Amino acid sequence: MSRDDTAHPEGPSAYPQAAELELRHVSKRYPGEREPAIGDLSFTVPAGEFCVLVGPSGCGKTTTMRLINRMTPLSGGEILLGGQSVLDRDVRKLRRDIGYVIQQIGLFPHLTVAENIATVPKLLGWNKDRINARVEELLRLIGLEAEGLAGRYPAQLSGGQRQRVGVARALAADPPLMLMDEPFGAIDPINRARLQDEFLALQAKVKKTIVFVTHDIDEAIKMGDRIAILRKGGMLQQYDTPREILAHPANDFVAQFVGADRGIKRLSLTTLSEIKLLDPARDRAGARRISASASVRDALSVLLTDGGRALAVVEGGSESGGDGGEGRLLGFLTLSHLERLIAEEYEQDRAPGEGQEPAPAGARGAGA
């Protein structure tokens, strides 16, 4: 976890392990301001987990992120990366160990895509061959190798391509921690969803510890293993899995922030492969097919638009809501069956003081 490991001479990515991040009673005060930007914030992101900081503007989420790589100096408390205080490390070396992606991306306009990606490896003094191998590996990882983009300048790229290059640049030295500040904020909704899916697939491969800042609760639910919901002054309202936050908001602020449709949102966290289906032995001719990787929310939507006819859940198919093609039949889903599952779930899951929201069928622990 020290920087010496990063400069390991063998292989382009000799530093695969993620590091745990721990914030202990962190505070930030700006001179001349009465209220602290962050009062007393503590939470831990286990190694390899995707943590989303979310909250309204002014809640201190970006400040929190910038405290970690010391872009903003800490006023009090401690931040530990891999068990070592970030203050004990040389600030340049610390930052070279932390992938950093910002909303405007900040690609260097005078450097090519390949040179941009090579920035941190160059700072770390890798040799040319190792840098070239790593750049190629990353271009492949983000799916830009085939398009011959390595020699282009940022001005010649589309917004989505720039964003991917920004992520590749942050990943270049295989950092144990990634900090991402609204990285998809400036991208149009259609491309944003695609970039989010791509990034989740990427994270499944690279398994970094990630601190991801957004003001968009839907993005937080989609991306995070854990979500930290902050309120003005960096007050942590709830730190939990998306499922728990949607099922059991800790207070009114969280309930309001996640929205009145949290019941529906929760359904999007469960895929059809995770729930009990009706027996596939009783074939129902003409049932519409849906992939088991689709979410319960998507299935509900199809059921509602299809007049409540049964759905045939089949294996395979990756597109959420896709028809699943010719995969093996796993079972059937009807509106009344879904209703039954939700009722069962609700009985098991009843929380004190909560009552009216539907709970998702067969909810299990979050993926992490």
Partner 1 sequence: MSASPQLAAAGPVIPHYGTQSSQCVVHNHLFCWDWVEGNWSSVLWPALRQHVYLAVVAVSIGFVLSIALALLARRWRWTEQPTILITTFLYTIPSLALFELLVAPVGANIYAAEIALVSYTLLILFRNILTGLRDVPPDVLDAAEGMGMTRTQQLLRIEFPLALPGIIAGLRIAVVTTIALATIVYTIYDAGLGVPIHSALGEGPFKTELIAAAVLTIGLAIFADGMLVLIQRALTPWARARRAG
Distance of closest approach, residue 112 Cβ to partner 1, in angstroms:
8
Task: Tell me how far apart the alpha carbons of residues 292 and 197 are, in angstroms, rounded to a whole number.
Answer: 17
C-beta closer to partner 1: residue 94 or 138: 94
Dump the DSSP string for 243-264. Answer: HHHHHS-SSHHHHHHH-TTHHH
Asked whether the CA dihedral 175, 117, 128, 132 is positive or negative, the reply is: positive
Q: Which is nearer to partner 1, 169 or 266 (CB)?
A: 169
Least distance (Å) between residue 357 CB and partner 1: 40
End-to-end CA distance of the chain, in Å?
A: 22
Nearest to partner 1 of 65, 221 (CB atom) = 65
Is 230 in a helix, a strand, or coil? strand
Encode burial over 75-84: b for 16+ CB neighbours within 10 A, e otherwise: eebebbbbee
- Smallest separation, CB 120 to partner 1 (Å): 5
For partner 1, which is the closer residue by CB, 114 or 236?
114
Nearer Cβ to partner 1, position 79 or 303? Answer: 79
Q: CB of residue 60 vs partner 1: minimum separation in angstroms?
A: 18
**What minimum distance in Å lies between the beta carbon of 219 and partner 1?**
20
Inter-residue long-range contacts of 216-219, CB under 8 Å, 24+ positions, other chains counted: 216/54, 217/54, 217/257, 217/258, 217/259, 218/265, 219/52, 219/184
Task: Quote the CA–CA distance of 52 and 18 in Å, as a whole number.
Answer: 16
Judged by the rule CB under 8 A, the positions of this chain that interact with partner 1 are 69, 71, 91-98, 100, 102-111, 119-120, 123, 152-153, 155-157, 169, 179
One-letter amino acid of 261: D
Residue 213: CB minimum distance to partner 1, A: 13
Least separation in angstroms between CB 261 and partner 1: 34
- Cβ closer to partner 1: 130 or 169? 169
**Which run of H or E residues covers position 41?**
strand 38-45
Q: Which two tokens stand for residue 195?
A: 């970039």
Provide, rounded to whole angstroms, the least separation between the CB of residue 90 and partner 1: 9
Strand 288-291 and strand 311-314: the pairing is: parallel
Question: Between residues 116 and 295, which has the closer beta carbon with respect to partner 1?
Answer: 116
> Would you say 229 and 54 are in contact if contact means Cβ atoms under 8 Å apart?
yes
Q: Token digits for 203?
A: 């994270």
| Nearer to partner 1 (CB atom), residue 45 or residue 120 | 120
